[in-house]
């Protein structure tokens, strides 16, 4: 029983290689599963508490004691004639009403007209 060489494909060799690759993939899958289980076990272990310096602890305590700046919430009024008021405990300048601004605009228009009449501008 002697097999001589031929020109066609060797099906037996191909089947052996295919079986070998299949075993390699199965082995790699098993190793991957094993490693994933071990990694999750390691992650569940309690970590050591981080040792922080005394100066950092003092700085954190100091930062907790510093008063925070107050934030202002702008209120939108439904009426244009109303003046907005600042929240209690703050001193913000009052916003002039629309009438006061209109009067100021008219006065400044008159001043500009006077300068134009004198040919200064």
Residue 115 lies in a domain: no
The pLDDT, as a whole number, for residue 74 is: 63
Low-confidence ranges of the chain (pLDDT < 70): 1, 40-52, 74-93, 120-121
Residue 99 lies in a domain: no
What total of structural domains would you count in the chain? Answer: 1
CA pair distance 83, 76, nearest whole angstrom: 10
The pLDDT, as a whole number, for residue 47 is: 62
Q: Quote the DSSP letter at residue 45.
A: S
Residue 41 lies in a domain: yes
Residue 33 lies in a domain: yes
The pLDDT, as a whole number, for residue 80 is: 46
Helices (H), the chain: 11-44, 54-65, 98-117
Residue 35 lies in a domain: yes
Residue 25 token pair:
């993939």
Give per-residue pLDDT as tens, 13-22.
899 999 999 9
């Amino acid at each position: 029983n002697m097999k001589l060489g031929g020109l066609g494909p060797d099906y037996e060799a191909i089947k052996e290689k295919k079986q070998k690759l299949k075993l390699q993939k199965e082995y790699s899958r098993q190793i991957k599963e094993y490693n994933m289980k071990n990694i999750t076990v390691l992650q569940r272990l309690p970590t050591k508490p981080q040792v922080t310096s005394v100066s950092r602890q003092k700085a954190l305590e100091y930062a907790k004691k510093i008063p925070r700046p107050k934030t202002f919430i702008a209120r939108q009024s439904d009426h244009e004639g109303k003046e907005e008021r600042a929240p209690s405990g703050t001193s913000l300048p009052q916003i002039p009403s629309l009438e006061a601004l209109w009067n100021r605009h008219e006065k400044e228009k008159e001043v500009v007209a006077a300068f134009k009449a004198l040919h200064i501008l």
